[in-house]
Amino acid sequence: MAEASPQDGGPEQQGCMIGLFWIERDRVCLGSPPVEEDPGVFLSPSRLSVGEGEHRQSWPWADVTDLQVLDVPVRSAAARWATRATAVVAAALNAWGPGGPSMMTAVVYAGGDQRVETPVFSGAATAYTQREVDLSLGLLSHFVRGSASPAMLTQWWQENRPADVLYSAEREAVLEGWMSPLM
23-79 pLDDT, tens per residue? 998 899 999 998 877 789 999 999 999 987 778 899 999 999 999 999 999 986 544
Q: State mean pLDDT over 16-29.
A: 94
Q: Count CA atoms closer than 13 A to 32's CA, side-chain side.
A: 17
For the cut 90, the answer to whether the pLDDT of residue 153 exceeds it is yes
Whole-model pTM? 0.80
Model pLDDT for residues 121-148, shown as the tens digit of each residue: 998 888 999 999 999 999 999 999 999 9
Q: State mean pLDDT over 6-17.
A: 57
Q: What DSSP string describes the chain? A: -PPPPGGGT-HHHH-EEETTEEE-SS-EEESSPP-TT---EEE-SSEEEES-GGG-EEEEGGGEEEEEEES--B--HHHHHHHHHHHHHHHHTTS-PPP-PPEEEEEEEETTTEEEEEEEE-SSSS-B-HHHHHHHHHHHHHHHHTSS-THHHHHHHHHH--SSPPPHHHHHHHHHHHHGGG-
